[in-house]
Structure 1
């Protein structure tokens, strides 16, 4: 059996990662709040987004400057606790009770005539979300007036229209639009022209590091070396390795290995290929080398996680 490259490999790193990881908004919640309020949410091993439809609110994240979000702004929240508030000085209440597991997805606070915002958790099958969470900082903001944010404004307008219409199927439509919103936010962050931005999104937007990342995601099975990737980037080996590690948080070959194994885990769980076929697909010519790398990364063997082993 030969795996189709076109079915598993996208044309750019962002599309490739989101497609392979199967990212989607698991639950879309809405808050309408008036008066004075503040709610604290704990650290969780997930990616979340918050977008303001109307009014203004504060986002307070440890280690980050206070962030005043206005209508049209969107933020992504990783592995960090945070507080959302009308007043940054107010002592926050516990916020998870606003949206109990079996409760309503709409929370109204103090008559709800000041701020309207939406939020949602981004789910990934199994543990694959760790790859993206490891690459993103705890907090990222896309302001309405930022470069490449026009698509975000259009999606938010559509989501707001769906809530106002309250027509049949509105919840489903709004959830699908939220998927698009998250992708557009990540796209805007990776294409905002800020060359000082660090992290994986900053590496994608960097002219030189971006070339190397695109090369890896286009041809994952190639026998990449640091020297070969540095040549693609048009940099010396030392400069490339230092810049890549500083932006991405992992050396080039460690990133390559982590992505190869993450893709391999996804393919194995689909059950459409053997362990040997998957190993070759992600660049391992030796099945034993693949098994050792897989065991080291995930504390299990490829066969124990593959229905066809």
Structure 2
């Protein structure tokens, strides 16, 4: 059975964007702009501070890695009291994949991940806004090896260096999410927000999520999912809602419609999609789709045709 994380990544068509290296020394404070991407940064050498929203400054040391899922602006600085400059303007990223500011007391690697615009909200909505994996975490040694390989690709002059950086950056994301799912790092939670990456740490809830994602066409019931989880219906429903933020069948329906929207986006007809997702009639499928997506399947199909025109 395909696991939940792999299923979601396939739907998102998640791809690493440009990966860069950053060196800084002396007194410095740089603000990096908000972008529609999930961001990560890792400290390879030295120490600095990261400022994110209205939270207290976070001191970062060599080996620490953080991941931001809510597309925010953030600040990296030698001293959190310094007024930040615009990092996009101060550093010239057009000539090199390594940006420099004042020295090399601090060395970092950073990058971003972008998803299909149709589904980009899924990963950001389901993850904590900030995830920090410290250098002493159990998974840190594995992450460090990937970072070392990644850094070495910045100095290579032979073919395929950029491709290798992309593959290593993809690998790094999975390693970071594994560490977070194993509760090895620190996260900031949002009350009422779904958090399936946390739910995957629960073997029983994870089994139910894997089943839902692998077979969205099944007529799932709470009893069936509770059986897969090895829990009573009441305990399963309560545990699922607490971890995911939605009742089990509501989550099933929303996931099913997300898959439906993706199939329509890829050119499948409404009747095909209805059949693939277990609906006996287009009308029943249409009612469910509109309730979740706010428009009819045919409107979604017309929108896709217009984008292709």
What TM-score, normalized by structure 2, do the two folds share? 0.84
Q: 2:68: which partner in 1?
A: 77
In the TM superposition, what are the counterparts of 1:114-133 in structure 2 within 5 Å? Answer: 114-133=105-124
What TM-score, normalized by structure 1, do the two folds share? 0.84
Separation (CA, whole Å) in 1 of partners of 2:249 and 2:54? 30
Given that 1:98 and 1:107 are in contact with CA atoms closer than 8 Å, whether structure 2 keeps it comes out as: no
Given that 2:62 and 2:135 are in contact with CA atoms closer than 8 Å, whether structure 1 keeps it comes out as: yes
Given that 1:72 and 1:156 are in contact with CA atoms closer than 8 Å, whether structure 2 keeps it comes out as: no
CA distance 1:306–1:108, change in 2 (3 Å): same
SS at match of 1:159: helix
Q: Which runs of 4+ in 1 moved over 6 A?
A: none
In the TM superposition, what are the counterparts of 1:83-122 in structure 2 within 5 Å? Answer: 83-98=75-90, 104-111=96-103, 113-122=104-113
SS at match of 2:21: strand
Q: 1:206 aligns with which of 202, 206, 209?
A: 202
Q: 1:304: which partner in 2?
A: 302
Separation (CA, whole Å) in 2 of partners of 1:293 and 1:163? 49
In the TM superposition, what are the counterparts of 1:276-295 in structure 2 within 5 Å? Answer: 276-295=271-290
Q: How far did residue 12 of structure 1 move?
A: 0.5
Q: 2:192: which partner in 1?
A: none
CA distance 1:101–1:286, change in 2 (3 Å): farther
Separation (CA, whole Å) in 1 of partners of 2:129 and 2:172? 18
User: RMSD value over aligned CA atoms?
Assistant: 2.8
Out of 62-71 and 33-42, give the one that drifted further.
62-71
Separation (CA, whole Å) in 2 of partners of 1:300 and 1:127? 14
Given that 2:92 and 2:99 are in contact with CA atoms closer than 8 Å, whether structure 1 keeps it comes out as: no
- Asked if 1:15 corresponds to 2:3, the answer is no
Q: 1:275: which partner in 2?
A: 270
SS at match of 1:205: coil
CA distance 1:41–1:227, change in 2 (3 Å): farther
Aligned residues: 296
Separation (CA, whole Å) in 2 of partners of 1:11 and 1:280? 22
Q: Deviations over 1:98-146 (max 9, x none)?
A: 56786654321113x1111122221112221111111011101122332
Gaps of 5+ in 2: 190-194
Separation (CA, whole Å) in 1 of partners of 2:12 and 2:95? 28
Q: How far did residue 292 of structure 1 move?
A: 3.1
Gaps of 5+ in 1: 1-9
